[in-house]
Structure 1
């Protein structure tokens, strides 16, 4: 069963890498982002989208941890 789980994980990772590679190869047209008057360098669309994805993957768990840490703890009363 462990070997099956490892094989499944490897296949899922390979599929994600393949999809990301195809996305990068299909989105090579350059764009320049302008935000609040600041113009960024011209980069391929895929670089910007994958960068946004990575930032979201990093920020999401941090915000989740902050929410869990700020949540008031429930006191469990012992039944008599």
Structure 2
């Protein structure tokens, strides 16, 4: 059972890596982003999309942890 779980996790990770690879290879068109007057150099579309994904994956759990800690503080103060 343990080996089956490991195999499934490995299969999932490999499938996810293949999807990311296909996404990067299919989105090679150059794009230059402009934000608040700052212009980024031209880069493939996949780079800013994957960067936004990684930033979201990092910020989401941090905000969730902040919410949990804030709720715990409120509960302690109420008791």
**Residues paired across the two proteins, number:** 74
Q: 5+ unaligned residues in a row in structure 2: which ranges?
A: none
Name the residue aligned to 2:64: 64
CA distance in 2, matches of 1:73, 1:22: 47
Name the residue aligned to 1:44: 44
Pair member with larger Rg? 1
**TM-score with structure 2 setting the length:** 0.90
CA distance in 1, matches of 2:61, 2:53: 13
Q: 5+ unaligned residues in a row in structure 1: which ranges?
A: 75-80
Give runs of ≥4 in structure 1 deviating > 6 Å: none
**1:73 has 2:75 as partner:** yes
**TM-score with structure 1 setting the length:** 0.89
Per-residue deviation, 1:73: 2.4
**1:18 has 2:21 as partner:** no
CA distance in 2, matches of 1:41, 1:67: 36
Name the residue aligned to 1:78: none
